Amino acid sequence: MLKLKRAFFVLGLLLSSFAEADIQVGFGLPGVNIGINLPTYPYLVPIPGYPVYYAPQIQANFFFYDGLYWVYQYDTWYAASWYNGPWWPVSPDQVPLYILRVPVQYYLQPPSYFIGWQPYAAPHWGQHWGRDWELHRRGWDRWDRHTTPAPAPLPAYQRQYSRDRYPQQWQQQQLQQQHYRYQPHDPEVQQRYRAVQQAPGQQGNRQPNIQQNAMPQRAPEGYRQPNIQQNAMPQRAPEGYRQPNTQPQYQQNVMPVPQQRSQGQQSRDVPRDHNREQDQQKGREQEQDQHRND
């Protein structure tokens, strides 16, 4: 019978998505959005004699207990660490006892099978979920009211995160660690709290932590860093290597600079035109001497 109830529990999750058009107030599920999300932080009031809050201004079965929000919708319990989800389904075997003990009158959107039940008493969960569940949660509706714990403090810091400022799933855990130090005391809530904190969306979308002044990582064993010397001497060119001529082409037409020569070299390198003029001058002088002798 217990396995059959769990099968109906899973079936209720699937059917919940088809009832979206008929509901006025709904809540966000992981990966699925049913109904209308809450635009602002809800007004929560403690239930007298119980460590549980309820939301009198919301037409929904909305509660807060031991650090988590609880919603009963579509015959299924959901839990969340933020007032607008994301919401995570909770099996009937894992719902906290003090949530199960909340009187019927505080369910502002009661299901049809609540009709006829006493408003000041807890719902008949054993009648609804069956004998196997009732045997598993034996004595859930009996407790010493003098040992009732005090209500957990509300996460009032969430009031400043509404509408467009509502944080993403990966940001919610960081904000809660900074502003809400409360830790659950109920064993069922502790288990659910860990499941919510370790959800894939809480870790998978987290932004990388980049440290500008972080120390460099140690090189793996056996790794040899290449020896790079900035002021090292240039290597000798291999034998037969000719360095390419990188001078610009315009230098090829530059006139050579005349070299200085000794006096002996200058006398030996007299231009031929100058010798020809001397020979012509001697020839004219000889002709003049011949005319005088005649």
Averaged pLDDT, 181-192:
90
Q: Is residue 290 part of a domain?
A: no
Residue 151 above 70 pLDDT?
A: yes
- Please tell me the distance from the alpha carbon of residue 12 to that of residue 43, in angstroms, as a whole number: 29
Q: Is residue 282 part of a domain?
A: no
Q: Is residue 102 part of a domain?
A: yes
- Please tell me the distance from the alpha carbon of residue 226 to that of residue 243, in angstroms, as a whole number: 28
Other Cβ atoms less than 10 A from the Cβ of 212: the count is 4
Exposed/middle/buried for residue 96 (C-beta within 10 Å: 0-12, 13-18, 19+): buried
Instruction: Round the average pLDDT of the chain to a whole number and report it.
Output: 74
- Please tell me the distance from the alpha carbon of residue 59 to that of residue 61, in angstroms, as a whole number: 7
Q: Is residue 230 part of a domain?
A: no
pLDDT of amino acid 86: 86
Q: Is residue 124 part of a domain?
A: yes
Q: Is residue 113 part of a domain?
A: yes
Q: Is residue 284 part of a domain?
A: no
Residue whose C-alpha is closest to residue 51's, from 36, 67, 62, 40: 67
pLDDT tier at 192 (50, 70, 90 boundaries)?
confident
**Strands of the sheet with 76-80, listed across from one edge:** 45-46, 52-54, 62-65, 68-73, 76-80, 88-90
Residue whose C-alpha is closest to residue 84's, from 33, 46, 45, 12: 33
DSSP secondary structure of 130-185: -HHHHHHTTTTT---GGGPPPPPPP-GGGGG--GGGPPPHHHHHHHHHHH------
Report residue 82 CA to chain centroid gap: 19
Ranking 48-57, 236-245, 282-291 by mean pLDDT, the lowest is 236-245
Question: What's the domain range around 84?
Answer: 2-203
Q: What Cα–Cα distance (Å) separates residue 80 from each residue in 122, 139, 199, 266? A: 22, 26, 11, 109
Residue 246 above 60 pLDDT?
A: no
pLDDT of amino acid 118: 96
pLDDT of amino acid 276: 59
pLDDT of amino acid 8: 45
For the stretch 92-149, pLDDT in tens is: 999 999 999 999 999 999 999 999 999 999 999 999 999 999 999 999 999 999 999 9
Phi-psi region of 139 (alpha: psi -120 to 50; beta: other; left: phi over 0): left
Residue 61 above 90 pLDDT?
A: yes
- Phi and psi angles of residue 41, each rounded to the nearest 5 degrees, phi first: -65, 130
pLDDT > 90 fraction of the chain, expressed in percent and rounded: 43
For the stretch 31-52, pLDDT in tens is: 445 455 788 999 999 999 999 9
Total domains in the chain come to 1
CB 231 within 8 A of CB 198: no
Q: Is residue 190 part of a domain?
A: yes
- Please tell me the distance from the alpha carbon of residue 138 to that of residue 65, in angstroms, as a whole number: 21
Q: How many CA atoms lie within 13 A of 208 on its CB side?
A: 3
Report residue 280 CA to chain centroid gap: 105
Place of tokens 């200058």: 266
- Phi and psi angles of residue 121, each rounded to the nearest 5 degrees, phi first: -115, 165
Ranking 120-124, 141-145, 234-238, 286-290 by mean pLDDT, the lowest is 234-238
